[in-house]
Amino acid sequence: MQPVTCRTCGNRVLAEKHSEAHTSIQWLTDAAHACPRIRNDTGAGHTPSWIPSCADLRDTIDDLARRGELVTNRRSHPAADLSTRSSHDRP
């Protein structure tokens, strides 16, 4: 995980990219307080049961990844493990 600061709202999170499409984001603070964009969404009356996300933060992360400043960690990708699969097949 690497610290990333949203370039729009300044919200600080930890992010890790596993592949082009798979990014883990760990919020360090309550998302609804940290990010004005998410605060607007929650203020609109619906409680976010979804994982909070900020389009600006995603842009920031994508930018960092493109410039090679956010390392893509393919080894930690939750890949299928053949040994655990075969253990399920046992009686």
Binds Zn ion by CB under 5 A, chosen from 4, 13, 31, 54: 54
Using rule CB under 5 A, residue 4 touches Zn ion: no
Using rule CB under 5 A, residue 35 touches Zn ion: yes
The number of residues that bind Zn ion (CB under 5 A) is: 7
Q: Alpha-carbon distance 24 to 29, whole Å?
A: 15
Binds Zn ion by CB under 5 A, chosen from 13, 15, 25, 57: 57
Pairing label, strands 2-5, 12-17: antiparallel
Using rule CB under 5 A, residue 6 touches Zn ion: yes
Closest alpha carbon to 25 in 9, 42, 4, 39: 4
Q: At 18, is the secondary structure helix, strand, or coil? A: coil
Using rule CB under 5 A, residue 56 touches Zn ion: yes
Using rule CB under 5 A, residue 15 touches Zn ion: no
10: left (phi over 0), alpha (psi -120 to 50) or beta: left
Using rule CB under 5 A, residue 9 touches Zn ion: yes
* Site residues for Zn ion per CB under 5 A: 6, 9, 11, 35, 54, 56-57
